[in-house]
Amino acid sequence: MKDLLYLSMRHALHHRLRTAILVLCLAVAAYLPTIVQILSLRYEASLTARAASTPLVMGAKGNRFDLTLGTLYFRPNALDPIPYREYQTLASASAGLAIPMNLRFSARSVPIVAAGLEYLDVRGLEFADGTPPLRVGDAILGSAAARELDAGVGDTVYSDQSQAFDIAEAPSIALRVTGVLEAAGTPDDHAIFVDIRSAWLLEGAMHGHEDAESIDPRMIFAETDEGAVLNSAVRELNQITPDTAQRFHVHGDEGDLPLSAVLLFPASEKDGTIVKARMNASQSLQMLVPSEVIDDLLGFVFRIKGFLDLVAGLLAASVGLMTLLVMLLTVRLRAPEMRTINHIGAGRFTTLGLYACELGLIVALSLVLAGAGVTLSLALLPDLVTAL
């Protein structure tokens, strides 16, 4: 056997190009279905795990996939806002833990997740460095976001301005980084977390400016019982510091301020069912079970995967047939050599063994190459849930 392997290896090496082409073709035929299978399983596991750990999501009526993917995976999409009042109602019902979320903003394209601090607890996120946000305008970074933004505790990141040439829109706001989270292997790694009030700061609903009483009286258009209407020339503050913190305020009713969604972790299954039924009866709201939405989504994904499996199967079959053809031609080409070996004293099993060993070597090399490709792909490819 050792001698047959040696002779086969010599033959394969002598015909390098032929061997390389065969190995490459077989490796691709093995690699494609394997990587598709692994990635789809990972995708499924990742999507399912996160969905399963989030019992209910409340948001504005609309596309349920957008609402689920937006709140669970921070996929950028324009969710219709719901008023903060809905969260207050839900929280006061004592049906469980409700976490308000605002997902409309980003900093250098990294999503800013404005949520209650409880969010960190329910997701099991731990600090690698720093502390939770202490005041409005403070931010903590997911591990991947910190790398992407090249920022750490004490640094400042600026929110992306939605309308660069519209002075009525809120300006870019400086967010002070107070902490960096440990890697969790979830979309949380790729996000910036701020307090929910910071989202209103980014919305422009909360703002700060010079003290109206100390500025030039000509900058005051009118005075009302609730305050003063100022000229837009009055300089707005774009960063909250200990000195300016007292100057940031909200005009109007806090209950009207916008949210993207509310996560609900019901105290019991019964509570969840009741809340869900009540919300879904609403004209403007919907309450989703993320695991159900993700199951539906995976139904689509796996329908596509079935097609990919078919394509991969056809590819593997054609490569197998091609390999068979090459081997049959090789048998014909090597007939004089085998006759010589036979005349010297080798039996039929020896000659068959030579072919089998060479085929075995080629298949083994292909599998090693495909395995290396799969390993490399899994190491280098970004997390699909975040990337797709």
Partner 1 sequence: MTALVSLEGVRFHYPGPPGTRFELRIDLLEIARGERVAFIGPSGSGKTTLLNLISGIAVPQAGVVRHAGRAISALSNAQRRTHRIATVGMVFQEFELLEYLPAIENVLLPLRVGSELRVSHATRKRAGELAASLGVTHTLRRRPSRLSQGERQRIAICRALITEPSLLMGDEPTGNLDPTTAATTLDLLFEHAAAREATLLIVTHNHAILDRFDRVIDIRELQGVGDAMTSAADGPAGTAS
> What does DSSP assign to residue 188?
G
Q: Which is nearer to partner 1, 16 or 251 (CB)?
A: 16
Question: Which tokens go with 90?
Answer: 């839900």
Phi then psi for 59, rounded to 5 degrees?
-160, -175
Contacts with partner 1, residue ranges (CB under 8 A): 3-4, 6-7, 10-11, 13-15, 336-337, 340-347, 350
Q: Which is nearer to partner 1, 12 or 149 (CB)?
A: 12
Q: Which is nearer to partner 1, 48 or 350 (CB)?
A: 350
Q: How far is the CB of 305 from partner 1 (least distance, A)?
A: 43
Q: Which is nearer to partner 1, 22 or 95 (CB)?
A: 22
Q: Which is nearer to partner 1, 7 or 230 (CB)?
A: 7
Give the pairing of strands 138-141 and 174-181: parallel
Q: How far is the CB of 23 from partner 1 (least distance, A)?
A: 17
241: Cα separation from own chain's centroid: 33
Q: Which is nearer to partner 1, 252 or 345 (CB)?
A: 345
Q: CA distances (Å), 97 to each of 43, 87, 100, in order? A: 28, 11, 10
Q: How far is the CB of 20 from partner 1 (least distance, A)?
A: 15
To 5 degrees, how large is the angle CA 118–CA 148–CA 386? 65
Q: Which is nearer to partner 1, 12 or 196 (CB)?
A: 12
Q: How far apart (Å, rounded) are the C-alpha atoms in residues 25 and 41? A: 25
To 5 degrees, how large is the angle CA 253–CA 256–CA 260? 145
Q: How far is the CB of 335 from partner 1 (least distance, A)?
A: 12
Question: Which tokens go with 187?
Answer: 């979309």
Q: How far is the CB of 322 from partner 1 (least distance, A)?
A: 22
Q: How far is the CB of 16 from partner 1 (least distance, A)?
A: 11
Those residues whose C-beta lies under 8 Å from the C-beta of residue 144, and which sit 6 or more positions away, are 183, 189, 190
322: Cα separation from own chain's centroid: 40
* Furthest CA-CA distance within the chain: 114
Q: How far is the CB of 345 from partner 1 (least distance, A)?
A: 3
What sign has the CA pseudo-torsion 288, 291, 293, 294? positive
Q: How far apart (Å, rounded) are the C-alpha atoms in residues 382 and 3? A: 45
